Structure 1
């Protein structure tokens, strides 16, 4: 017989807590319990470390069996050991609580800590509760509800390859849950901006977040509508202020400060505030805000371009695939003559870097950079499927012609120079141009890319044409939806770390790094000094014209005029 009071899971949770000799559930714990009972069929619970979300959910699993002993529940965690602990706890509650005595396994029932039936359950291939690791034997299971308890941990989400593998693995849940009545509940803490939990909303999941402290306006804005209503309402009504503990019965302000010191700012932000923005800013070295976005002419450029991070310089009408809060900026100023006209000069040179496609999902990519006074201008970057085909080689040659490059460098780690030999006759026919000695890399790719681009971008010496950004975004639309953004140059730029395998795709970024590396030895030039030299050269020319116009021949290079 089901007691009417226990149809509300919060009342059942109270009984469990009393059985465990714990204090009464806190308001946050009751709020999580209500969300477990009344939330959508596909939901994600993100709550600060130590709030007891796994214990609450184990009690919820038992409560579901109390209401309906015929349901099947699958518990999945990052490791088999973790999921086994969950099911063992649920089994002990059934064995120890008098109100659950009728659920205890009968003779003939499965009765292990990792897989058990409750007594009244009908015969079924699937046990009442089963635990499994995320990369364990999921196929063949059936369930009314899946509880995914910390399926994402640092060990399986350090790189983009690992995150992709995990994201594909959890798709199996859709084949496991029963149609129409199936539910999936995730419990977890995001490990980074590219966390699985931040991708799942695109698949129809709702996220609810309970941070340890009330957030300030900036962090609250990052949460959006994911912040638990009880937290948002307290801030709106003025009954709580930013920095106050959300669950003081669990962790008071002094306790949280100690944990902040112990975890460090980044670790505390992730584990207790569930905010990835600080972690991402520290972890990812390349940011869109360090670029200068301005139209790039093929032949001429300003002798100096000045960057600034002012809010009024932010560009809002370009596709932005960067991290939260990262924005493109237009220049604050460009060099001008005393009369106020833009001060332009021809480039020192122009180079095109090509990264041939390997196998599988890689792209053949190219990037063009032009140099003037220590700054690099990027008029064109593109990637496309294919490798050694004639139409690919023709497209590359036409891109070199279109951008009037002086030299081409080709990455030769693939094919020992075969691509270069195939490309030469096509290039000779369309746009005769010098091909530099093939580039071979021995340094770890991610470290090499970061070490090349970070100092240039931090010095705000990389100027990108806005059309590069638009074309990059448009070109990835042909790829499958969930993976399309992995092919974007600017997604790769803002997600790379120095960890091996940090990106699933890095072809466009690698080509840009090669094109930038070509100019590394020339980047030490001081832009202001070069601008002054350019002005003095122009002055010398004007003086020479004046002397000739006045009727005097004058010396071709007067000793008193610096050229």
Structure 2
């Protein structure tokens, strides 16, 4: 027993509690305890503890809260979880520890006035408004609360991390913690990742627009079920046979995320962006042998496909997207650029100089024209379903206005969107033929590809949203790229073209000839 005049170390505190319960102290619990105490004593107040499911991490963190109150009874601890019931579970556990731990007898107040399952206050010298420990769901109101320590226990779960919108909402709610913490306060996140774009990720995701990981600078403790040598990190409970059984009855993505702590969605889609080839070379026009050549790196492009999928006023639905894909001389596909188009309303303004406001269709078509010119595209295919039926002529007008000669090919889409996406990406990704440029990596395309599920894309045969269908996420970028991949590259005959037309394809286009005749 630890003498009353001596403060017990956290590992000793945990060992005493395990003795009360008639349990032993697993080695990985000792590692967690030592790491938490080391961080606390070193003044590291931003911590992330990730450990495999059923490892007892929440139990250790609950004991850590009790140990901190043992050291300083005036501390205020706020527990945040994905829902209130989960947060209350930790508060009840810590209250139970305070009531039964041999070293904490002096913390139980004589009058159990504020001693509930959602909040409790220990016997303490300070007169403070906030309780010693309080439970709040992530959607609850914490305005006006103050805490010295915030425990984020499983704040990320599948229901709040399966779409970009939900993940952004979660980050916004967690950002409120900085307004609750007292100066020098601590944050401790505990959980397992449920998305490739998890708040626990240690690398930034350029496609989300973030400039640093959400928990950048946090001290990290990561404990998967299997260590780097292939041995179990809790062999007494999870031996090799038990781990093999979990693998057998668990989907591979879920095992990797929940047991190995890898940043993959437990219900990841059929397309793995790891199978893509990434490049950061520019598309460059060169002149050789009296003709133009478009190259990316050391590859020569021989054809292109550009697809424009229009949409108006789609703040909550699919947006207007234009994409371009080159085809090289080896038959591989190069997704070089993609753009989500946006038109301003008269109230928003946004016109250059004193130019009058233009209608939404003209704005979108002007953006498509600029997209084609900067990517040296000789033709574009425009989907004429719905609103697109009157856009081809507007697009031709906008191309003429900037002096870019290009073909506008009208296309009525009758194939189901899910089928189009599956056919396009399944073929080229399965064969390892799809390259993705650096500009595309910074867009929502990779996120849409990673999270796309055939069952989540509620669309009719023409590819339009079905009202009331519960969609997991957008797929507008995937649809535009699929249109490029499935389109037969247009190879126009050799004709006289304006100077602004860049026809770099091998079987057509203009050529330069030097005139050496004397005048």
State if a TM-score over 0.5 links the two structures: yes
Structure 1 equivalent of residue 160 of structure 2: 156
Structure 2 equivalent of residue 478 of structure 1: none
Deviation at 1:29, TM superposition (A): 0.6
- Structure 1 position 173 matched with structure 2 position 160: no
- Whether the aligned pair in 2 keeps the contact of 1:369 and 1:376 (CA below 8 Å) is no
SS in 2 for 1:35: helix
SS in 1 for 2:200: helix
Query: Structure 1: 5+ residue runs without aligned partners?
Result: 216-241, 301-328, 335-341, 474-484, 523-536, 538-563
Question: Following the alignment from structure 2 to structure 1, what is the Cα–Cα distance between the partners of residues 297 and 430?
Answer: 15
Residues 145 and 491 of structure 1, relative CA distance in 2, 3 Å threshold: same
Higher relative contact order (CA 8 A, sep 6+): 2
Question: Following the alignment from structure 2 to structure 1, what is the Cα–Cα distance between the partners of residues 365 and 22?
Answer: 73
- Structure 1 position 287 matched with structure 2 position 273: yes
CA offsets 1:143-187 (integer angstroms, 9 cap, x no match): 11011111112222223332222222211111111122x111111
Give aligned pairs, total.
Answer: 435
CA offsets 1:341-361 (integer angstroms, 9 cap, x no match): x9x9x64x7444254564559
- Structure 1 position 14 matched with structure 2 position 18: no
- Whether the aligned pair in 1 keeps the contact of 2:323 and 2:481 (CA below 8 Å) is yes
Deviation at 1:7, TM superposition (A): 3.5
**Among 398, 408, 417, the residue aligned to 1:426:** 398
**Among 366, 374, 377, the residue aligned to 1:394:** 366
Residues 2 and 145 of structure 1, relative CA distance in 2, 3 Å threshold: farther
Question: Following the alignment from structure 2 to structure 1, what is the Cα–Cα distance between the partners of residues 29 and 335?
Answer: 55
Question: Following the alignment from structure 2 to structure 1, what is the Cα–Cα distance between the partners of residues 248 and 220?
Answer: 28
- Structure 1 position 185 matched with structure 2 position 191: no
Structure 2 equivalent of residue 353 of structure 1: 308
Structure 2 equivalent of residue 406 of structure 1: 379
**Among 489, 511, 515, the residue aligned to 2:480:** 511
Structure 1 equivalent of residue 99 of structure 2: 95
Deviates more, 1:96-105 or 1:383-392: 383-392
Residues 421 and 19 of structure 1, relative CA distance in 2, 3 Å threshold: farther
Deviation at 1:109, TM superposition (A): 3.6
Structure 1 equivalent of residue 428 of structure 2: 456
- Whether the aligned pair in 2 keeps the contact of 1:71 and 1:128 (CA below 8 Å) is yes
Structure 1 equivalent of residue 37 of structure 2: 37
- Whether the aligned pair in 2 keeps the contact of 1:146 and 1:185 (CA below 8 Å) is yes
Deviation at 1:288, TM superposition (A): 5.2
Residues 295 and 98 of structure 1, relative CA distance in 2, 3 Å threshold: closer
SS in 2 for 1:178: strand
SS in 1 for 2:250: helix
Residues 399 and 264 of structure 1, relative CA distance in 2, 3 Å threshold: closer
Q: Specify which structure has the higher proportion of strand.
A: 2
SS in 2 for 1:151: coil
- Whether the aligned pair in 1 keeps the contact of 2:305 and 2:485 (CA below 8 Å) is no
Structure 1 equivalent of residue 292 of structure 2: none
Question: Following the alignment from structure 2 to structure 1, what is the Cα–Cα distance between the partners of residues 148 and 325?
Answer: 56
- Structure 1 position 138 matched with structure 2 position 109: no
Deviation at 1:283, TM superposition (A): 3.8
Question: Following the alignment from structure 1 to structure 2, what is the Cα–Cα distance between the partners of residues 206 and 283?
Answer: 31
Query: Structure 2: 5+ residue runs without aligned partners?
Result: 203-212, 288-295, 345-350, 352-357, 458-470, 492-506, 508-519
Residues 490 and 213 of structure 1, relative CA distance in 2, 3 Å threshold: closer
- Whether the aligned pair in 2 keeps the contact of 1:201 and 1:207 (CA below 8 Å) is no
Deviates more, 1:267-276 or 1:288-297: 288-297
Question: Following the alignment from structure 1 to structure 2, what is the Cα–Cα distance between the partners of residues 100 and 350?
Answer: 71
Question: Following the alignment from structure 2 to structure 1, what is the Cα–Cα distance between the partners of residues 61 and 177?
Answer: 18
- Whether the aligned pair in 2 keeps the contact of 1:356 and 1:419 (CA below 8 Å) is no
Q: Specify which structure has the higher proportion of helix.
A: 1
Q: Structure 2 length as normaliser, TM-score? A: 0.71
Q: Structure 1 length as normaliser, TM-score? A: 0.66
- Whether the aligned pair in 1 keeps the contact of 2:335 and 2:440 (CA below 8 Å) is no
- Whether the aligned pair in 2 keeps the contact of 1:80 and 1:131 (CA below 8 Å) is yes
**Among 47, 52, 61, the residue aligned to 2:51:** 47
Question: Following the alignment from structure 1 to structure 2, what is the Cα–Cα distance between the partners of residues 292 and 62?
Answer: 49
Deviation at 1:496, TM superposition (A): 4.1
- Whether the aligned pair in 2 keeps the contact of 1:375 and 1:463 (CA below 8 Å) is no
- Whether the aligned pair in 2 keeps the contact of 1:298 and 1:379 (CA below 8 Å) is no
Superposition pairs of residues 297-336 of structure 1, within 5 angstroms: none
